[in-house]
Amino acid sequence: MGAFPIATGLLSVLIGTLVGLSLGLVGAGGSILTVPALIYGLGIPVREAIPAALILVGLIAANGAMHHSRKGTVRLDIAVRFGLAGMIGAVLGARLSELVHPRMLMILFAFVMLAAAISLARRDSTDTIDESERPFHLRPRGWTKLNAAGLAVGLLTGFFGVGGGFVIVPVLALFVGLTTREAVATSLVVIVMNCVGGLAGHLTLGTNFSTIAAILLGLFALGGAAGSGLGVRLAGRWPEKTLSRIFATIVAGLAVYLLARNFSGSHQG
């Protein structure tokens, strides 16, 4: 093993902090930055970056979920039902990702990022929903739809290594009727469950990490934990609509960069 790259280690902490901060603030979209950050920022190959992202996103989301649970905003009954379906989908998604060339994975990933940016930019539609004062009841047919949505998000998580919060939050807010704050908090629990399922799928395929990569992931996780905790504490101090649109612009710009880089033939293998 060569000398540990200190500058890269500091960069890993910084990127992890920013990803964690975005997750804590808006609860969705933050994890979409993890895969390109690992590949193009830290030089980790695509096949390692996706399962690595699942570890990092899962740890960061778990930290954020614990902070939210202390505020009583996590709807655990809904999270478990949604998440169990997602775990099944995540295992399948991990298997499917191995069948796709790394460059094509990044091109497809860029389109997912664009979809996330659109979802974040339109996030203000959930701000008008406030059903926290009435009990939640979902009929059996509704549970079926919720499970189907969970399965689809899980596939996305296992395939690309993203949490899928940009899909989970709108589903929980618009379809289930949770408030935005409850949807954000609950989505973090679902993300943790999906990451566990996706990681399990990738590990069965023989994924492993170098010593330096493992250290970088640990530093990233530390930064992410600090960032998500800070984000949760700052949540509500700034207009969520403004935050979401700013973040949407960043995600969209990065998606365009990924498309240009991979269509030009320059990519990390």
Model confidence pLDDT, tens digit, residues 161-206:
877 777 788 788 777 778 777 888 888 899 899 999 988 888 887 7
pLDDT digits (tens, 9 = 90+) for 142-167: 677 778 888 988 898 888 887 777 77
Q: For residue 120, what are the CA distances in angstroms to 156, 178, 186?
A: 17, 17, 17
Identify the three-state secondary structure at position 166.
Answer: helix
Structure tokens at 196: 């566990």
Domain chopping of the chain, boundaries: 11-263
Q: Is 257 exposed, middle or buried (0-12, 13-18, 19+ CB in 10 A)?
A: middle
Closest CA to 158 of 231, 19, 6, 53: 53
Instruction: Find the mean pLDDT for residues 64-89.
Output: 86
Residues 158 and 93 sit within 8 Å (Cβ to Cβ): yes
Q: Which helix (H) or strand (E) holds 40?
A: none
Instruction: Find the mean pLDDT for residues 243-269.
Output: 78
Composition of the chain by helix, strand, coil, percent to 5: 80, 0, 20
Q: What is the DSSP letter of 237?
A: S
